[in-house]
Amino acid sequence: MATITAQPSMDAEAVYESEIELAVHPMFALMVAGTIALYVKTRDSQAGFAKNKDFAQFQWQYIGVYMCVMFADWCQGPYLYRLFHHYGFLEEQIAALYITGMVSSILLGPTLGGMVDKYGRRFMSVVCCYLYCLSALLTLSENFYVLIFSRVLEGASSMLLFSAFESWMVVTHKQRSFPEEWVSRTFALSTVANGVSACLAGISSNVVVEINGHQPVQPFVLAAAFLLIGAFLVSTYWEVDEVDEDELLAGRGQCVKSLNPLVNDKKIYLLGALQALFEGAMYVFVFLWTPSLDPPHIKTHPPLGIIFGQFMLAIMIGSFLFRYLAQTRRVPVLTILGPAFLVACVCFTVAAATKNRFILLLLFIVFEGCCGIFFPAMGTLRSQLLPEAHRAAHMTWFRVGLNVLVVCSLLLVGRVDRSWLFAGCAIFNLLAFGCHRKLKHAVWVDLHATQQVHTATSAVTSTGSSIVSKNTTTS
């Protein structure tokens, strides 16, 4: 009798799992339709700069290269964890490989950040492409120590990817004397382009995996090819940075010098803390989402590339929302950013309390929408608050902080239940919201002080003019 009752339970679980896998493709189609509809709804907000041919040319000069390199980066994302699992490594060993990349970023980050500012954004962007290409090719090896070296190269190249490319765009934007407020438009557009390239990368990686008998190796070969193309495009179409020879000689101390304004300026270190906390939770999520949605015990594996594409569509939707609020409704960037931290906190809190894969998928999609708001908002804030001379170095220090958080979190893999890691991500976002409130207050105080100085200066000028006028009349 017990056997008869146990069997339907197993069959029901199998049917339930199958229904989850079948729901992924219809959800993806609905999200594509929704993304296109939102784009059509918000596209008029770009009309202001689309008519400026020089600015449009500059944007595509940056966006075209950025999409190519990010496509290569995203190709590896959906199947990195599964590749290591395919090689037969335990979860603790996989976590060690992830940690290696983070530690590499921590150790090499300050040096690389100074090199970006000193040796040129264009040159270091080419170096980034070649290093990342070598890392992708080394991932094809099943040798654990070769994979360790691959992760070291990946950590260094990812540090360059998220500092050199953006730094080139911001510096070139200012050198060409475009209006400062247009920077946020480029960041919003690059977030959309990033979402499109990631979506295409997810679909492409899923196709090449399925064509080759569900082998998770092929996406890394595809990534290497696009990284070589990216290096060619940067070398061909990006203008060379003009670097002062005296600064080259002082290059070693550049990243250390940047610590002074980082520590002493409240707005800068709050911005860095805010970025480290949110992105720290995001990178822990990058490790957690695959085993959460594709646990080893299930028989039918979900299409990770398509799910990854859903995440990227959610990022695009978030960026459309940011663009609509910031450009059409003129809502301040800090006002838009705050609710994203709270929503992300709720998503991770619920994720810590459930094992239902369908609910987890929905929560992950909502969190990625928060990322779509976060990326252009943070890019705009960095362009406004970070001094140009130390921009890349500051961004490097920010990533050092977030890598420390990620490493400490991943060291707990295998020692605590996965729900505790989700709870930690919720705490990170709650702390990020606290830093956001303090940063918003600091910006308001500085703005208020500036207005008072302007008012006082105007009063003195007015009084001086009246005195001169009075003396003239007396004469």
What are the tens digits of pLDDT across the range 442-452?
888 877 666 65
Higher pLDDT, 107 or 202: 202
Whether the pLDDT of residue 320 is over 70: the answer is: yes
From the list 148, 136, 140, 297, the residue with the least C-alpha distance to 224 is 136
pLDDT higher than 90, residue 179? no
* CA–CA separation, 25 and 416 (whole Å): 33
Q: Is the pLDDT of residue 441 over 60?
A: yes
Residue 10 pLDDT: 42
Of 338, 394, 312, residue with least CA distance to 74: 312
Helices (H), 251-390: 254-257, 259-264, 266-293, 304-323, 333-351, 357-385
How high does pLDDT run on average in the chain? Answer: 81
pLDDT score for 127: 92
Within 13 Å and on the Cβ side, how many CA atoms surround 169?
28
Q: 24 near 302, Cβ under 8 Å? A: yes
* Residues contacting 41, CB < 8 A, separation 6+: 320, 324
Q: How would you classify residue 330: left for phi > 0, otherwise alpha for psi between -120 and 50, otherwise beta?
A: left
**Are 121 and 393 in contact, with CB atoms under 8 Å apart?**
no
Residues 6+ apart with CB under 8 A from 470: none
Residues present in the chain in total: 475
pLDDT reported for residue 149: 95
* pLDDT at site 374: 94
More confident call, 176 vs 334: 334
Top-confidence residue, 354 or 249 = 354
Comparing 102-106, 280-284, 421-425, the range with the smallest average pLDDT is: 102-106
DSSP bridge partners of 413: 416
Q: Which residue has the higher pLDDT, 84 or 210?
A: 84
Confidence at residue 463, expressed as pLDDT on a 0 to 100 scale: 46
Rounded to 5 degrees, what are φ and ψ at 52?
A: -85, 105
Most confident among 28-37, 183-192, 377-386 (mean pLDDT) = 28-37
Task: Give CA–CA dist 438/406, Å, rounded.
Answer: 23
Q: Which residues contact 42 (CB under 8 A, 6 or more apart)?
A: 320, 323, 324, 328
Q: Concatenated DSSP letters for 352-400? A: TT---HHHHHHHHHHHHHHHHHHHHHHHHHHHHHS-GGGHHHHHHHHHH
Residue 258: what pLDDT? 53
Instruction: Pick the most confident of 53-67, 139-153, 306-320.
Output: 139-153
Per-residue confidence (pLDDT) for residue 19, from 0 to 100: 57
Highest mean pLDDT among 77-81, 312-316, 423-427: 423-427
3-state secondary structure of 413: strand
Cα–Cα distances (Å) from 195 to 35, 154, 380, in that order, read: 11, 21, 18
Query: How far is residue 331's CA from residue 325's CA, in Å, rounded to a whole number?
Result: 5
Q: Which two tokens stand for residue 26?
A: 């219809």
